[in-house]
């Protein structure tokens, strides 16, 4: 399913949910909301860019049976929006999310591959940070995002801390073993997420 179809499906789900709460919005208005959630200025911008852009999507593998849990975490922690899902025999195999202008697919690892590593991956992380890649995310309010992620179940890896450019950086382990590197840009531009600095202190709140 391409991003346009995913967005249209999300708009239908949103409209149905709002109607159930006696909130009347047109399908077009819901499309605009979904486009904003996905990081676009308008539905027209999403449509125009989708017509000719090549895109990179990230597939995050989690333990079999934890796809819905992971999807809910990424939505709560980082504001990801579900655009579609793949179910099979009552089990969620994959959930497709939009995070700004990036598509993330949360996938349950194949138990047969997990039981027989000789077959080859991909595998879900077996411990915090046992991964070969890091998800880097620029945010406008680092402290707020970090606190929200920790409240949702993430573990602070380091930070928040100020870097040499005056920007802020932090890193988290999500509950499924993946590493997130977060950065807040300075007023003069973008700061680079760092992957290893002394850990700061932050506690979850109720």
Domain boundaries, the chain: 3-52, 61-120, 125-206
3-state DSSP helix/strand/coil % of the chain, to nearest 5: 35, 30, 40
Per CATH, the number for 125-206 is 3.10.180.10
- State the Cα–Cα distance between residues 47 and 59, nearest whole angstrom: 23
Element (H, E) at 19: helix 3-20
- State the Cα–Cα distance between residues 16 and 8, nearest whole angstrom: 12
For 37-41, 64-68, 149-153, which range has the lowest pLDDT when averaged over its residues? 37-41
Work out the number of other CB atoms within 10 angstroms of the CB of residue 126.
10
pLDDT in tens, 155-183: 999 989 987 777 899 999 999 999 999 99
Q: Which residue has the higher pLDDT, 11 or 180?
A: 180
Six-digit token pair at 139? 């945010």
On the question of pLDDT at 139 being above 60, the answer is yes
For residue 42, the cross-strand partners are: none
In this structure, are residues 77 and 32 in contact, taking their beta carbons and an 8 Å threshold?
no
Which CATH number applies to 61-120: 3.40.50.300, 3.90.79.10, 3.30.2290.10, 3.30.720.120?
3.30.720.120
């Amino acid at each position: 399913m391409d991003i346009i179809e995913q967005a249209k499906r999300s708009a239908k789900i949103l409209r149905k949910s709002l109607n159930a709460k006696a909130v009347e919005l047109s399908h077009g208005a819901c499309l605009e909301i979904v486009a904003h959630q996905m990081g676009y200025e308008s539905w027209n911008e999403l449509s125009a860019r989708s017509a000719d852009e090549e895109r990179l999507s990230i597939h995050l593998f989690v333990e079999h049976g934890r796809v819905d849990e992971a999807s809910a975490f990424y939505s709560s922690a980082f504001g990801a929006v579900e655009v579609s899902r793949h179910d099979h025999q009552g089990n969620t195999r994959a959930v497709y999310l939009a995070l700004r202008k990036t598509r993330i697919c949360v996938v349950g690892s194949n138990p047969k591959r997990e039981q027989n590593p000789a077959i080859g991956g991909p595998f879900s992380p077996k411990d915090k940070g046992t991964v070969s890649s890091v998800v880097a995310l620029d945010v406008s309010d680092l402290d707020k995002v970090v606190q929200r992620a920790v409240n949702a179940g993430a573990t602070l890896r380091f930070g928040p801390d100020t870097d040499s450019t005056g920007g802020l950086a932090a890193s988290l382990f999500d509950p499924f073993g993946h590493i997130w590197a977060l950065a807040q840009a300075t007023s003069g531009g973008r700061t680079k997420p760092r992957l290893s600095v002394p850990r700061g202190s932050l506690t979850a709140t109720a």
